[in-house]
Amino acid sequence: MKHHPLSAALRLAGLAALLAGSLGSALAQEALIRKNLAERLPALAKIDEVSKTPMNGLYEIRVNDSDLFYTDAEGNFLIQGNLLDTRNRRNLTEERVEKLSAIDFAALPLKDAFTQVRGNGKRQLAVFEDPNCGYCKRFERDLQKVNDVTIHTFLIPILSPDSAEKSKNIWCAKDKAKAWADWMVREQAPAKASCDTGALERNLAFSRKHKITGTPTLFFVDGTRVPGAIGTDQIEKTLASAKAP
């Protein structure tokens, strides 16, 4: 049975109207949420994005690039916490934050890091560390067992004035990697040295921008961010699964 061209055109027009109406409704919903939250919670940071969640009637509110809240369709309530998918046993909030906080590895300012190449150096890892961080020292001892990797170390002295002094002496050493390993692995303090330490200030600014608030923080070539020290097995596993985009 053939359909009349006019009826097909009418169906398409109806579908277009339905889609337009749905889009208009979604935009109006977002505008209402933004309006109500801005009026009622003036201290809340500017909303970057409003989006639906898999839970019916619940909306995600994103502020400060990667901070998440949840609200109802009218912005009458605001929830801070984790949204869990109990059927699939997934932490949807955690997954979303990880995606939002991922960094393009190619965009890392490697000129402000010192680099160590072990073995063939084919695998890559970037690490943000403070020289007085106990977890960093534990991580560095485990990292000694990893081969065939290129490690880019960014010094971020965030723990104390002594961290700044040690970072300066390590950055200004003739052999940065050796001075770093001597201190982190062998407890041999770096000798006093002086040079242009603008890289350390840039690293701190980069860390603030990308919310790198603890050390060590690791980045892999696929953008994966791992906050905190991980053992040799986990380092190897993540290096093996991380593929450059």
| The pLDDT value given to residue 231 | 93
In the chain, what percentage of residues exceed pLDDT 70?
Answer: 90
> What is the bridge-based pairing of β-strands 217-220 and 123-129?
antiparallel
Instruction: Indicate the pLDDT class of residue 4, thresholds 50, 70 and 90.
Output: low
| The pLDDT value given to residue 100 | 84
What rounded mean pLDDT belongs to the chain? 90
Cβ burial, residue 123 (10 Å; 0-12/13-18/19+): buried
User: What DSSP assignment string belongs to 113-158?
Assistant: SEEEEETT--EEEEEEE-TT-HHHHHHHHHHTT--SEEEEEEE---
| The pLDDT value given to residue 198 | 97
Instruction: Indicate the pLDDT class of residue 235, thresholds 50, 70 and 90.
Output: very high
Residue-wise pLDDT for 33-83, tens only, equals 999 999 999 999 999 999 999 999 999 999 988 899 999 999 999 999 999
- Set out the domains of the chain in order of their start, with CATH numbers: 5-101 (3.10.450.70), 105-241 (3.40.30.10)
As given in the structure block, the two tokens for residue 65 are 């690039």
| The pLDDT value given to residue 211 | 86
Looking at mean pLDDT, say which of 27-31, 62-66, 87-91 comes out highest: 87-91
Listed residue (99, 100, 62, 96) closest to 78, CA to CA: 62
Distance separating alpha carbons of residues 34 and 42, to the nearest angstrom: 11
Instruction: Indicate the pLDDT class of residue 243, thresholds 50, 70 and 90.
Output: confident
Least confident span in 30-39, 63-72, 96-105, 116-125: 96-105
Confidence check: pLDDT of 21 > 70: no
| The pLDDT value given to residue 202 | 97
Confidence check: pLDDT of 151 > 90: yes
Q: Residue 68 forms beta bridges with which residues?
A: 62
Residue-wise pLDDT for 176-208, tens only, equals 999 999 999 999 999 999 999 999 999 999 999
Which DSSP category does 175 fall into? S
Helix (H, G, I), strand (E, B) or coil at 170: helix
Interval 232-237 mean pLDDT:
94
Q: What value, to the nearest 5°, has the Cα angle with vertex 208 and ends 196 and 168? A: 25
Hey, what long-range contacts does 208-212 have (CB within 8 A, 24 or more apart)?
A: 210/101, 210/103, 211/65, 211/66, 211/101, 212/128, 212/156
Distance separating alpha carbons of residues 75 and 100, to the nearest angstrom: 23
